[in-house]
Structure 1
C-alpha cells in the first residue's frame, strides 16, 4: 500500500514523526495564541501543550497518510473573551497555518545548514538517507497543512478567516452551507475528474513552493 506521503514502508516512520510534530505545533499555536489573548477555554482543556496526545485525531492522521489531506482535533475558541473579537479571532485562526510555514522554513534552513557545514559527511548511508527523508517530509507535510488549511471551506482555518472578514448578513447565509462541506471535500478527494481539476493542481503548487524556497536559502548560505 503506497500513500501520498510515503513511497514504501521504510519511509513511514519518518512521515509519522513529521506528522506528529506538524499537527502538534499547528494546534498548539491556535491554543497558545487564544490563551494569550484572554480565552482560557483551550488552556482549561489541556490544549496549551506540546503533548501530541491531546491534539492528534486518529482518523485525521490516517487520512493524511493515505490521501495527503488530514486534520487534528480542533481547538475550541470562545471569541467572547477577546477585546477585539474579529481581529483576534483572525490572528488565532491564522496562527496554525503560519506555524506550519515557520516549520517548513526552519526545516529547510536546518537541512541547508547540515549540508553546508558537512555535518553528515561521517555518517553512514542509512543515516544520511534517514535525515534526507525526514526533512523532505517535514517540508512537504507543513506546506500541505499550510495550503490546505487556507482553503475557504468549513471547518478549515481559511473559512474561519473569511467568516470574520465578511459582513454579518453574508456570514449568516454562508453558515447554511457548512453542513455540506465534508461531503464536498470527500467528492474532491475520491472522484478522479474533480480531483484532477482541484486537488492535483494544489499538490503541484506545493511542489513549486518547495522548489522556490530552496533558492533563497541556497543563495544565503552560498
Structure 2
C-alpha cells in the first residue's frame, strides 16, 4: 500500500468522523430545542467528536474497510443520540424533525463546502482544492442519503413509522431485524445501485454549485 493511499485513507476517516459528529450533534441540538433535555444531560449537544465516536463503528471498522478497499469503501456508524419523545411538545412532528436533522446537517455541510471552495476557487483555481472538496461532499452525500433509508436504526425509519402509524412495540420488533433487512437489501437486490445513484445525484448537485460559483 502506497503512502498516498494511506494519506487518503486517513483523510477520509477524519472527514467521516467529523461529518458523523456533526450529524449526531444536529440530532441532539434539535431534540433539545424541541423540549427533550436527554442528549444535553449526556453531553451530546457538542461538536466535539469524542462523545459521538463509537470506537468500533466510527474508527476500527471504517478504517478496516478503507485500508482493504484502497479508500473506496467504508461502513460506519456513530453513537446514537438518546432521545425521549415523551418530552416533545408535539411527539410525532418533533420526532420526525429530530430524525431528519442529521441528514439535513450532512446536506448543509456539502452545500457549505461547495460555496466556500467555489469562492476560494474563483481566486486560486479549483485544480488543487477540488479533490478535497469532492471528498467531503461525497462523504456527506453518502451519510445523508444512506440515513434516509426507512429501515431501523437509520433516521428514515422514524419517518416511516409515523407515516404508517406503526406502534412503538411493532417498531421495536422491526428494529430487531433492521440490520439484517438492510444488509439483505444491499447485497441481494438492486437497492445498492439505486442508493449509489442517489448519492451521486446529491454529490453532483453540490459539485455543480461549486464549479458554478468558481466560474
TM superposition score category, shorter chain reference: 0.7 to 0.9
After TM superposition, give the deviation of residue 149 of structure 1 in Å: 0.3
Tell me, yes or no, if the aligned pair for 1:28 and 1:49 is still in contact at 8 Å.
Answer: yes
Q: 1:154 aligns with which of 128, 147, 152?
A: 152
* Equivalent runs, 1:198-209 vs 2, <5 Å: 198-209=191-202
Structure 1 residues 119 and 162: CA distance shift in structure 2, 3 A = same
Change in 2 beyond 3 A, CA 1:144/1:120: closer
Alpha-carbon spacing, 1:142–1:185, altered in 2? closer, same or farther (3 Å): same
Residue deviations 1:147-196, cap 9 Å, x none? 00000010100001211222245x6545433211112333445x4xx26x
2-side partners of 1:144 and 1:157: how far apart? 13
1:119, CA displacement in angstroms?
6.9
Q: What's 2:175 paired with?
A: 178
* 1:52 aligned residue: 49
Q: How does 1:92-131 map to 2 (within 5 A)?
A: 92-118=98-124, 128=128, 131=129
* Cα 1:159/1:120, change in 2 over 3 Å: closer
Give the unaligned 5+ runs of structure 2.
Answer: 66-72
Q: Name structure 1 gaps, 5 residues minimum.
A: 122-127
The aligned runs of 1:1-222 (5 Å cut-off) are 8-61=5-58, 62-65=60-63, 66=65, 67-118=73-124, 128=128, 131-168=129-166, 172-188=169-185, 191=187, 194=188, 197-222=190-215
2:69 maps to what in 1?
none
Distance 1:63 1:216 in 2: 33
What's the secondary structure of 1:68's corresponding residue? coil
1:50-99 CA distances to partner (integer Å, 9 max, x unpaired)? Answer: 11010011222244452433211000101111111111111111101000
TM-score after normalising by structure 2: 0.84
Deviates more, 1:110-119 or 1:77-86: 110-119
Judged with a 3 Å threshold, the aligned counterparts in structure 2 of structure 1 residues 89 and 144 are, in CA distance, closer, same or farther, namely same
Residues 177 and 79 of structure 1: is their aligned pair in 2 closer, same or farther, counting only changes over 3 Å? Answer: closer
